[in-house]
Amino acid sequence: MLHYVSGDILLTKAHAIAHGVAPNDHFDAGLALSLRQQWPAMYKDFRHYCHSGGCKSGSLWTWAGADGTRIINLITQDPPPSHNQRPGPASATHVGHALHALSAFIVEEKVVSLALPRLATGVGRMQWAEVQPLIKRHLGSMDIPIYVYETYHAGQQAAEPDLPAEK
């Protein structure tokens, strides 16, 4: 069940947060920067994962914190052309493959609720009108509440209907 909400995704009560990144992403802008600041170990582990050679566009990488936090990094962008350059843009193909992997992950790992932003529309440079149908196609029939944060409001908790009692 998709629910479009407004608020600060970092205040979600959802079981997991998903967001888009690039291989070797520096997590230095937007939601990725906020996640890096709140969970620096996640960023360090992601960098290690990328250096091990497993990070491919169109896939996902998950992280679980000691406090039970689950972050799902959807690899929606192309890697940067070289070490000191910005990542390439996101593409509908990469977003679609990552969302397909996310839907399988939700089932396999028994994720009970999920929050995600307007995926790939910031640093990924895609238009929401192109991304939203992909989210509907891959996640719209999931039998869990999925909160799509369409509008960011710092420090404001979104109304998240149908939220399961336990995180």
Q: What is the pLDDT of residue 41?
A: 96
Beta strands in the chain (DSSP E): 2-7, 16-21, 60-64, 70-75, 114-117, 146-152
DSSP 42: H
The list of the chain residues with pLDDT below 50 reads 167
The predicted-structure confidence for 106-123, as pLDDT tens digits, reads as follows: 999 999 999 999 999 998
Look at the block and give the residue holding tokens 């839907």. 103
pTM for this model (two decimals): 0.94
Q: What is the pLDDT of residue 167?
A: 45
List C-alpha distances in Å: 77 to 153, 156, 161: 25, 28, 31
Q: What is the pLDDT of residue 166?
A: 54
CATH T-level topology, domain 2-152: Leucine Aminopeptidase, subunit E; domain 1 (3.40.220)
